[in-house]
Structure 1
Amino acid sequence: MCAERARHGTAPPGESVPVAVRANDPRDGPAAASVPALPVRELFDALGTGPRGLTADDVTARRTRYGPNDLPRVGRPNLWPRLAAQFTDLFAVVLLVASAITFLAYVLERPRDPATLQLALAILGVVLLNAGIGFAQEYSAERTAESLQAMVPRACRVLRDGERQELAARDLVPGDVVVLEAGDAVPADCRLVEAQGVAVNNAALTGESDAVSRVAEPVPPGSPLGARNCLFMGTDLVAGTGKAVVFAVGAATEFGRIFRLTAAAPRQRTPLQRQVAAMARRVAGIALATGAVLFAVRVPSGQPFVDTFVFSLGVMVALVPEGLPATLSVSLAIGVRRMARRHALVKQLLAVEALGSTSVVCTDKTGTLTQAEMTVVQLWAKGVTHTVTGVGYAPVGEVADVGPVRELLRTAALCCDARLVPPDGRRGWRVLGDTTEGALLVAAAKAGLDTTAEEARTPRVAEYPFDSVRKLMSTVHRDRDGGYVAHVKGAPLELLARCDTVGRNGVRAPLTEASRAEAAAAADALAGQGLRVLAVARRQVSGPRPVLSDVESELTLLGFAGMYDPPRPEVRDAVDACRRAGIRIVMVTGDHPLTAEAVARRVGIVRGSAPAVGTGAHLDTLDDAGLDALLAGSTELLLCRVSPEHKMRVVTALQRRGEVVAVTGDGANDAPALKHADIGVAMGASGTDVAREAAVMVLLDDSFASIATAVGLGRSVYRNIRKFLIYVFSSNIAELVPIVVATFAGFPLVPITAVQILAIDLGSDVLPALALGAEPMEPDVMDSPPRPRQERLFSTAVMGRILFLGGIQALGVCAVFFWHIHASGIPYADFTKDDPVYRQAITMVQAGIVVSQFFNSLAVRTDRQSVFRAGLLTNPWLLAAGCCGIALMSAISYAPPFQTVFGTAPLSAADWAVLAALGALLLAAEETRKGMLRHREASAKGGTR
């Protein structure tokens, strides 16, 4: 629904306001902060409703005032502005200006030269081609807000006029009374007014993986998000039943707040975007300056003004790498396809390269590092620890020496509201309800217990739900002999204090101080391993409805269950790979610090004895300088209990320190940080639509290991980009130098025309450059630290290779051009554009550049290693692309239609042999340089031993 449908205050129907200001009118209800503190009767009065719900007239009036209960959809970007943006690139601007000036020169010159018009159209064609490729590669709709809609449940149950109704969730209004039960998605932000054992999973909103209990009683005023009597849109009820009154809908909900944060977060420019922009400015400046200087040199020599101007434009065109934008886009697309084969879907091309420069990964915990499936791994009973094998919710595994712990598991399973659901063809084993209870059910199944049969034999007759004060849950069951038994589970210390006996060998033994200390030590030992520990006990009771104090006293301790959310098995290797690559990993989670540290140690993020741990509350006390100090302190950092705002602040602070930041996440609460980061990485299988749409990369297999693989591929892409930049710009030097030499030598014509240059840049250079972009990943790519954010694309080493290789090519083509000119014996002043000698000479220049570029493409494949050692056939696409370029050059030389357009002439076999020799000379020179470099490196290493 569009933002304009939002209503605020007393705005009449049809008058719209921005959705960001939509909120409940204070005249209609209490401020959000006071909602948790109101008694139920006062809450009904404040929201203008009652236990029977709203009337039809109330609903109509409020729907007009507040609008529908859904989130605004962001309109898809208009195609035309996106297409127009392709022409704002500096290379495109320079070429458009050049095309316009060339066309003007054609109009003004007398007589008009068709070659000038051809040049103008050719340059314009280059711009249109680049724009088309860029538009096709980069266009993607922003659907983050639309995906937020998917998390709003479609239907809900409400009380209206005292009758229960089922209606679309978007029809809810503030004041509606919602009826909820386990398994329901919460349709709006609401306050509980009745609650029987209610527990909710807020993971999608807060990042916390634990189910948390909820009550109907008033709590102290404050933020509703932290109130124990409030429920929020997009979360799930995992246990219990209840009724709740709606106090916020649509964009006024907590999800609405996340929507506004996500919409306000700008996409960050990647390092490559910044470097390409800087490169474009420099190249464009050099091209314009060089053209102006040569124009100023040639005009005083008596050359026609228009011809001189067109000549200067040709020089400028020679310096601008016309095919670079298209080559860059398609090369990045190759990287995207490679990553997709490794289960990493990249939605923005430039994100491929940014991955390679990642220096910090801020990772979520649940579902990213772990499997989000609680698993019992140890049981303690009668002084003995029993190991439980298998991970996840599939009941595959076994309990070591199951006899002594069978009653423990039976009691724990009976004291559960969750249900274990078998695979249905689309999904595997899963749990409906609390994940901790699900882990107990799986452990019972591994012990051979049929929990369904046990429940049938001992039906439940009473229940005392868990709450955070008692930290216990109890159920009462009718036993097979007609008596009644209470089954209790909960926090070890709380339950242990209520036990007076311990079960040993089928009988109850007194819980002496020594045995109590032994049990407490066992619970501490399990907790010290980073396990969540539950104690299990039971007792006989006198009737089906005993008072709570009788149920939870004089208990018999059966033992403890230690469980944890197991890490993904491949994560440790991925963390090790990131460490080798110099990438810092910071855990940013909504979970408890102890839980976070336990997981971090299991996967290798934390290895030292005292990692730095910060909480959201602690971050609130820090100014920017304090946060910078925290981030710059320990290399092992855990940030826990954090909100979406905290995550965004941490990402911004890291970026301020010059880091290239990747953020992983799967919940809606992660969306703002995912969008604000340099690289947002969402989970594809378990993640929410919100996270997937806010991110620029989606891990299709939810594996953290795919991040390390993607970083390696990103680094490889950057190396390949540098390879084809060396290839392309060395060609530009070979195009420019003959023009400059001819100018200062007094030759009246150009050694290579602008149309020929365009043919080289787009016809002969693009395919080899693309093939260089497809070079396979080198084995040492993850053995070096990330490059600094400020590192230039054109480093000293890159510029050195460009000048070295381009200089050799330039000397070669200058030699063949002037050799042809001087060998003819014709004075410079007598040469015309139609002179056969001149046409053959410029053909030799164009063919010389194309042939030498073939050998150049082989030379730049490696930085230090000999290309012969790497293997000439390891990149067959490069050989095929080079042959295509030579074939095109042959057509330009021999085909009459091409001869007319390019002003070329046929070359002899001897001419081709000379050009091949010049190309081989370039490759030999580069191999010699690499050999000398390897020798110096070997000597340096030998000297340090």
Structure 2
Amino acid sequence: MSPEPARLGTAALREGGPPTCVPAPAPEPPADRPGGVPASSFSCLPVPDVFTALGSSARGLTPLETAARQARYGPNVLPGAGRGQVWRRLVAQFTDLFAVVLLVASAITFLAYGLGRPRDPATLQLALAILGVVLLNAGIGFAQEYSAERTAQSLQAMVPHTCRVLRGGERRELPAGDLVPGDLVVLEAGDAVPADCRLVEAQEAAVNNAALTGESDPVTRVAGPVPPGPVLEARNCVFMGTDLVAGTGKAVVFATGTATEFGRIFRLTAAAPRQQTPLQRQVAAMARRVAGVALATGTALFAIRVPTGQPFVDTFVFSLGVMVALVPEGLPATLSVSLAIGVRRMARRHALVKQLLAVEALGSTSVVCTDKTGTLTQAEMTVVQLWADGVSHTVAGVGYTPVGEIDDDASVRELLRAAALCSNARLVPPTGRDTWRVLGDTTEGALLVAALKAGLDPTQEEARTPRVAEYPFDSARKLMSTVHRDDDGTFFAYIKGAPLELLARCNAIDRGGTGTPLTEADRTQVASAADGMAGQGLRVLAVARRRVAGARPPLGDVESELALLGLVGMYDPPRPEVRDAVDACRRAGIRIVMVTGDHPLTAEAVARRVGIVREPDPTVATGTQLDALDDGGLDSLLAGSAELLLCRVSPEHKMRVVTALQRRGEVVAVTGDGANDAPALKHADIGVAMGASGTDVAREAAVMVLLDDSFASITTAVGLGRSVYRNIRKFLIYLFSHNIAELVPILAATFAGFPLVPITAVQVLAIDLGSDVLPALALGAEPMEPDVMNSPPRPREERLFSTAVMGRILFLGGIQALGVCAVFFWHIHASGIPYAKFTRSTPVYREAITMVQAGIVVSQFFNALAVRTDRQSVFRAGLLSNPWLIGAGCVGIALMAAISYAPPLQAVFHTAPLTATDWAVLAAFGALLLAAEETRKWTLRRRRTSPKGGTP
């Protein structure tokens, strides 16, 4: 059955559409594109015929028709990945380099078992153990990746993708997924287009079609019919995945979900693999190096031992044990778990990270370019002062609840009436537990609240003097204008915007309801009043009007020869948590630069309240001053005072500042909420969008979304980003240090002429997967250290395996290696048996290799405690502050005890029961390792400086 829109569209055309626009009857939509018909069926129709063709009207769909179409077309969403991708992700777990190395080792071991005469059960056990390691590791990796993906999906759902729709004549804010063909969507600058739509109203509208065409320049859009042509070139259509970057409009939906042009592209790209982050590339490069070293070392030892007359298969198993000892089998799963934990922790702190790259880059952020409204402040604008005819008036009440009195409200009623009419926001009464809230711009919402306090009803005023034209705000004019038809058929324009820009266009001032010429003394008085308000930290708007000829006069006529009605001062109080967050940034060596479109006095007042400015004379620069600077001058400005405020800036200025900071080697985080912030958000190292008040365009351009819009969440996310990076280094040190303890005894036995290995490959696998993975995972979940924000940002060029990190691996691994070598050769020499007499069944040998395995497990328990902190004493941090780590270590020791005492496991691992004295000796070696590391940290604290390459 054809979708309803297709049938209605064809019927309308048969009844007499324009002769130049007679497309063939709308075809049955393909099975993979339900929910719409081609744009060519509507682009050439006049607006009334568009409504008829889609079974809609200027009041939108009725609730009954909406429900029917939702049942027919389903949700306006793009489908998730298919089941095939799940299997591909599972198979991908076996293509990791470590997995490939172990699979090859397992295959060769199976071959050695098959060719051996007689066949040695130990060789079969080793082959099965290696294969089991690969399967277990793949299972952990797949489960974690799948869990992380599900978590990301649920977190994305926390950021609402909404749109404004007219249904039954009532304007509603709905999830974009609820749209159906025929819905009438209201679009404003900064909105992401939620579906494929035909415009029926457009005021200075322009879209960015880069997502579909690759062309980043804005393209104007019109509401009237256009000649038939390619779908994406229809100038009266807008498409899902694009952005309205200027103007306003209304559009009727004709395609949703996979029926859209964006849906067609989505199907082609949904299965594309994600790019690796720099951190992942570092780990991959490390894996290649480790695998190369492991293979080279195993091959070299095999070549050394074969000429000595050792059995071929035994020598191969010996070399294989060396190779396995060097491969950190649990690293891939541990790394993915640690990153996922970091993302979840950030989400719990209201910071949604969309890319793992952001987790890594956050730790090295050195400059934050922050806007003011909503980030440093509460984004609840409240009009607190009015100025009209030379007199200031106070306004009582806080927030969006329209309760409060205005001093002499009669004298400011026309000022507030004009301001309310020149607004697109809507005030929504409380429902249930909700409070009064604003749909749209918060500044305009504050104007509506003030009008209500003055006894005006903005809805009734709009009905009495309906709007007939609008000239939207843009960052170049810094003004917004609307034209209204009065009761007697005359037309008036109402204009609001930045005081200086609007004052320059005025030639009269309202005094007692009568326009009088604006003198220079009046201009000075107005400017002084505006500066006085701004100096109090108020955002100041000027409001003016003029009579115009006609319903849609040229913009130049609308915004010239104006009569000033007065000034509106509003206050957005700082968020209470911001001051502490700013102090934390200062301690962390992170510079904060305020970049705002507000008046310099307003910006400085807020900056002082939150602690960004403390000096008596901060550097304040306006957009006009930035225009006068070349790149060298801008670099000098940014390198000057640490306290810098950039005011009255445009999106181009913001982008230029970000580029200049990056040119100086800074790692830059940028906050933004509007469509005009998108270029800077994309260009920054960390683009941070507002989740509650930000536009869809800003959220798509950013790599991190603040769900609560608070600057404090940025600081928290930086600290968590640093903590994630530290935790990754901790478990890398933990994993690789014990590899040294596994390798050195084997090398020592080789050069000492001992015929057997001090630790077998099966024992190594038991350590790596049985005793090491859980503590490593617990280290990845290590709580944030209290000093994480007390050090400068991590240098951009610092590598994961820095000189200091490698030094710490060798330090801790060397101590473990000395301990296990000591206990092994002490057992061997104490027996008095010549080396040549030792066999695998010799009781002393089995006791010795059990001591080696247990020694590594016990020392790793103490090692895990040692690497928990970089400089701080673990005793000060609290031995029990990470109970998961203690529990994981106890599980590893319990498993070792089972291997030592349980007869079935003794048969598999060729181990022997340990005595209480043996355990005491091993515990003493472990305590020695912890004492040595505590001494090293004490020395670092004494020096109060970090070694070159970064403190590990």
TM-score range, shorter chain: 0.7 to 0.9
Distance 1:665 1:435, change over 3 A: closer
Aligned residue number for residue 799 of structure 2: 792
Aligned partner of 1:918: which letter? F
Mapped contact 2:618–2:645 kept (Cα < 8 A)? no
Mapped contact 1:359–1:659 kept (Cα < 8 A)? yes
> Equivalent of 2:120, from 107, 113, 124?
113
Aligned residue number for residue 450 of structure 1: 455
Distance 1:686 1:118, change over 3 A: farther
Mapped contact 2:865–2:874 kept (Cα < 8 A)? yes
Match of 2:137, SS? helix
Distance 1:193 1:357, change over 3 A: closer
Distance 1:399 1:99, change over 3 A: farther
**Does residue 531 in structure 1 map to residue 539 in structure 2?**
yes
Aligned residue number for residue 464 of structure 2: 460
> Equivalent of 1:768, from 765, 771, 775?
775
Mapped contact 1:663–1:681 kept (Cα < 8 A)? yes
Aligned residue number for residue 720 of structure 1: 727
Shifted more, 530-539 versus 301-310: the winner is 530-539
Distance 1:426 1:915, change over 3 A: same
Shifted more, 673-682 versus 790-799: the winner is 673-682
Match of 1:759, SS? helix
Post-superposition offset of 1:842 = 0.6
Aligned residue number for residue 278 of structure 1: 285
Post-superposition offset of 1:643 = 9.1
Post-superposition offset of 1:829 = 1.5
Cα distance in structure 2, aligned partners of 1:846 and 1:576: 49
> Equivalent of 2:49, from 35, 49, 53?
53
Match of 1:794, SS? coil
Mapped contact 2:485–2:491 kept (Cα < 8 A)? yes
Mapped contact 1:864–1:930 kept (Cα < 8 A)? yes
Mapped contact 1:157–1:178 kept (Cα < 8 A)? no
> Equivalent of 1:837, from 820, 844, 866?
844
Cα distance in structure 1, aligned partners of 2:445 and 2:210: 22
Cα distance in structure 2, aligned partners of 1:17 and 1:634: 62
Instruction: Summarize the alignment of residues 697-846 of structure 1 with structure 2, pairs less than 5 Å apart.
Output: 697-846=704-853
Post-superposition offset of 1:350 = 6.8
CA RMSD of superposed structures (Å) = 6.2
Cα distance in structure 2, aligned partners of 1:694 and 1:440: 30
Mapped contact 2:298–2:322 kept (Cα < 8 A)? yes
Match of 1:431, SS? strand
TM-score, with length taken from structure 1: 0.73
Match of 2:619, SS? coil
Aligned partner of 1:424: which letter? T
Mapped contact 2:422–2:496 kept (Cα < 8 A)? no
How many residue pairs were aligned?
859
Distance 1:798 1:396, change over 3 A: farther
TM-score, with length taken from structure 2: 0.72
Shifted more, 763-772 versus 135-144: the winner is 135-144
Aligned partner of 2:906: which letter? Q
Post-superposition offset of 1:268 = 5.4
Cα distance in structure 1, aligned partners of 2:825 and 2:454: 93
**Does residue 89 in structure 1 map to residue 96 in structure 2?**
yes
Aligned partner of 1:881: which letter? A
Mapped contact 1:615–1:642 kept (Cα < 8 A)? no
Aligned residue number for residue 931 of structure 2: 924
**Does residue 293 in structure 1 map to residue 300 in structure 2?**
yes
Distance 1:349 1:87, change over 3 A: farther
Post-superposition offset of 1:737 = 0.8
Distance 1:582 1:513, change over 3 A: closer
Cα distance in structure 2, aligned partners of 1:939 and 1:347: 32
Gaps of 5+ in 1: 30-43, 60-66, 159-167, 207-212, 219-223, 542-547, 941-945
Mapped contact 1:154–1:170 kept (Cα < 8 A)? no
Cα distance in structure 1, aligned partners of 2:811 and 2:634: 47
Distance 1:156 1:150, change over 3 A: farther
Residues 655-714 of structure 1, C-alpha deviations (whole Å, 9 max, x = no match)? 898766656566788889878976565544445678767866543323232121011012
Distance 1:439 1:277, change over 3 A: same
Cα distance in structure 2, aligned partners of 1:694 and 1:775: 31
Residues 536-573 of structure 1, C-alpha deviations (whole Å, 9 max, x = no match)? 5799x9xxxxxx99999999865321347766554565
Residues 395-430 of structure 1, C-alpha deviations (whole Å, 9 max, x = no match)? 466657868656644665577675422122375423
Aligned residue number for residue 163 of structure 1: none
Cα distance in structure 2, aligned partners of 1:530 and 1:459: 31
Cα distance in structure 1, aligned partners of 2:658 and 2:493: 47
Match of 1:834, SS? coil
Cα distance in structure 1, aligned partners of 2:185 and 2:821: 85
> Equivalent of 2:619, from 609, 612, 626?
609
Shifted more, 569-578 versus 918-927: the winner is 569-578
Aligned residue number for residue 145 of structure 2: 138
> Equivalent of 2:328, from 321, 332, 349?
321
Cα distance in structure 2, aligned partners of 1:434 and 1:693: 19
Instruction: Summarize the alignment of residues 538-557 of structure 1 with structure 2, pairs less than 5 Å apart.
Output: none
Residues 753-812 of structure 1, C-alpha deviations (whole Å, 9 max, x = no match)? 111111111222223223333332222211222223332222222222222222122112
Post-superposition offset of 1:275 = 2.2
Post-superposition offset of 1:98 = 1.6
> Equivalent of 1:869, from 864, 868, 876?
876
Mapped contact 1:71–1:149 kept (Cα < 8 A)? no
Shifted more, 815-824 versus 660-669: the winner is 660-669
Cα distance in structure 2, aligned partners of 1:604 and 1:262: 46
Residues 845-896 of structure 1, C-alpha deviations (whole Å, 9 max, x = no match)? 1111122222222222333333333333333333333222222211111111
Aligned residue number for residue 37 of structure 1: none
Post-superposition offset of 1:908 = 1.4
Post-superposition offset of 1:450 = 3.4
Cα distance in structure 1, aligned partners of 2:54 and 2:888: 72
Cα distance in structure 2, aligned partners of 1:824 and 1:347: 61
Shifted more, 729-738 versus 801-810: the winner is 801-810
Shifted more, 705-714 versus 328-337: the winner is 328-337
Post-superposition offset of 1:472 = 5.3
Aligned residue number for residue 164 of structure 1: none
Aligned residue number for residue 887 of structure 2: 880
Mapped contact 1:200–1:235 kept (Cα < 8 A)? no
**Does residue 342 in structure 1 map to residue 349 in structure 2?**
yes
Identity %: 70
Residues 167-193 of structure 1, C-alpha deviations (whole Å, 9 max, x = no match)? x97657xxxx98979999987788978
Aligned residue number for residue 101 of structure 1: 108
Aligned residue number for residue 316 of structure 2: 309
Cα distance in structure 2, aligned partners of 1:58 and 1:716: 54
Match of 2:729, SS? helix
Residues 433-468 of structure 1, C-alpha deviations (whole Å, 9 max, x = no match)? 6655432221234xx433239959x98367675547
**Does residue 849 in structure 1 map to residue 853 in structure 2?**
no
**Does residue 892 in structure 1 map to residue 896 in structure 2?**
no
Match of 1:88, SS? coil
Mapped contact 1:588–1:642 kept (Cα < 8 A)? no
Aligned partner of 1:99: which letter? S
Aligned partner of 2:89: which letter? R
Instruction: Summarize the alignment of residues 422-461 of structure 1 with structure 2, pairs less than 5 Å apart.
Output: 422-425=429-432, 428-432=435-439, 436-445=443-452, 448-452=453-457, 455=460, 460=464
Match of 2:542, SS? strand
Match of 2:295, SS? helix
Cα distance in structure 2, aligned partners of 1:939 and 1:81: 44
Cα distance in structure 2, aligned partners of 1:487 and 1:565: 28
